[in-house]
Amino acid sequence: MIDTHTLKKRDLYLNKLIAFQDTEPVKVVTGIRRCGKSSLLKLMVIHLKESGVSDDQILEMNFESYSFKSMNCDDFYHYVAQHIMPDKRMYLFFDEVQRVPNWEDAVNSFRVDFNCDIYITGSNAYMLSSEYSTYLSGRCVEIKMLPLSFSEFLYFHGFEIKDTKSALGGIRKQAFTKDGEHYEIREVFDAYMKYGGMPGIADVGLDQEKALALLEGIYSTVIMRDILERENRRGQKQITDATLLKKIILFLADNIGSNISISSIGNTLVNEGLLENGKRKGVPSAHTVQAYVNALLEAYFFYDIKRFDIKGKEFLRTLGKYYIVDIGLRNYLLGFRDRDSGHALENIVYFELLVRGYDVSIGKVDNSEVDFIATKADDKVYIQVTEAMTSETVRQRELAPLQKINDNYEKIVLSLNTGMDSSYDGIKSLNLVDWLIAK
């Protein structure tokens, strides 16, 4: 029985699942642990029931349940076969299906043997998203989930945005709770910048101690189970040093939005004395560091972003950047202090662009850089992110790269303080928080 009162909607992802409903591919929901994958399957079940599908047409199996702990592939197939309703369309939901050895043989058989629509989630402790297509003979579609966007954060924490009159007669937006308390949106955004967008934080509330405990649980599970255990399970011995893994995580977390090369990571760790324990002498090889970084990308803990030469119209092999999947996790790792907020804002904008369906790269134009080129279908947007546009020096720095781009696509500077002007030579200056909550 699903408790619909505790399930918050994630319409962006639910609509993607609905769009693929009753199509042949297996729907695979991926993403970092605790970002809401299991809840999404439950939301899809609710949608089916509300649209007239009967309970006996829906089969849900969560393989983290003790009930299915020792199930093998044959058991899995027979269990599902017993629950199939003849002459009816079945909807099969398998949560953490990779816990069943050779699960893919059963799932591929379901597709062939039964009239069914299949939805699965899985964690990277068992398999990479890139491997699903191989296991499912290419017949799958991946729905990639992220932690909460700022708009979702407002909804999950019970805030509603309303227009209110300011003392000077203008209109401003404020965030109201169900109890009628109201806050400046900037205050709520600061909470988002502090605690991040893991859905579980809405359950414990905006309390630093509880939030830290939740984030610590996510971090340790991703590192210990999705990375270190996974390597052992696959018989690979590339990632065996938990200390080195943590140092690389701390380095990447501290350097989000900075240009980084793999070789520089090992050198920097040694130069900063982070690897000077007697056990480890010299610089870890670039190959070793790359393996550790790849594992973090595969666990959806970090995302990498490539550089694109706008004038040369080609991707560059040189320095890319890394962003952390959740800014709250970064604060858990590095401490809740006001650091490098410019790059933290970039981090939030990067994931918002992914949520909005853009492909994102860094732009290089001559010797300067555009923070993001966001592309989809026939749409392209160039974006700069900065804390404030009030200083002439900052304005010149942020506008100069955009002014060098000669096409007619939209160019935007996002900041928390836009200053007086709303545009500069056709380049829009927008409030970052307003942009995040815009429909």
pLDDT in tens, 102-131: 899 999 999 999 999 999 997 665 555 567
Strand arrangement, sheet containing 171-176: 160-165, 171-176, 182-184
What is residue 3's predicted lDDT score, i.e. its pLDDT?
A: 46
**CA-to-CA separations, 198 to 50, 90, 183, 195, 244, in angstroms, rounded:** 28, 32, 21, 8, 26
What is residue 124's predicted lDDT score, i.e. its pLDDT?
A: 60
What is residue 1's predicted lDDT score, i.e. its pLDDT?
A: 41
What is residue 279's predicted lDDT score, i.e. its pLDDT?
A: 44
DSSP state of 363: E
What is residue 37's predicted lDDT score, i.e. its pLDDT?
A: 94
Strand blocks (E) in 13-88: 26-30, 58-62
Confidence grade of residue 264 (pLDDT, cut at 50, 70, 90)? confident
β-bridge mates for residue 427, sequence order: 424
What's the rounded mean pLDDT across residues 309-329? 82
Short-list 126, 104, 65, 41, CA closest to 299: 126
Whether residue 299 is predicted with pLDDT greater than 60 in this model: the reply is: yes
What's the rounded mean pLDDT across residues 272-282? 53
Whether residue 325 is predicted with pLDDT greater than 70 in this model: the reply is: yes
Distant-in-sequence, close-in-space partners of 346: CB < 8 Å, separation ≥ 6:
256, 257, 323, 371, 372, 385
Whether residue 4 is predicted with pLDDT greater than 60 in this model: the reply is: no
Which has the higher per-residue pLDDT, 194 or 274?
194
What's the rounded mean pLDDT across residues 238-262? 89
Pairing status of strand 302-309 against strand 314-324: antiparallel
Confidence grade of residue 163 (pLDDT, cut at 50, 70, 90)? confident
What is residue 46's predicted lDDT score, i.e. its pLDDT?
A: 97
| 7 in Cβ contact with 36 (< 8 Å) | no
Amino acid at the residue 319? L
β-bridge mates for residue 381, sequence order: 374, 410
What is residue 18's predicted lDDT score, i.e. its pLDDT?
A: 98
10 by DSSP, 3-state: which?
Answer: coil
Short-list 427, 279, 305, 318, CA closest to 361: 305
Mean pLDDT of the chain: 88
| 142 in Cβ contact with 135 (< 8 Å) | no
What is residue 268's predicted lDDT score, i.e. its pLDDT?
A: 82
**Sign (positive/negative) of CA torsion 2, 31, 347, 251?**
positive
Which has the higher per-residue pLDDT, 287 or 199?
199
What is residue 68's predicted lDDT score, i.e. its pLDDT?
A: 93
374 by DSSP, 3-state: which?
Answer: strand
**What size, in residues, is the chain?**
439
Segment of 2-6, 55-59, 260-264 carrying the highest mean pLDDT: 55-59
List phi, psi (to 5°) of 92: -110, 125
Short-list 248, 158, 145, 250, CA closest to 198: 145
Distant-in-sequence, close-in-space partners of 183: CB < 8 Å, separation ≥ 6:
159, 174, 175
Whether residue 354 is predicted with pLDDT greater than 60 in this model: the reply is: yes
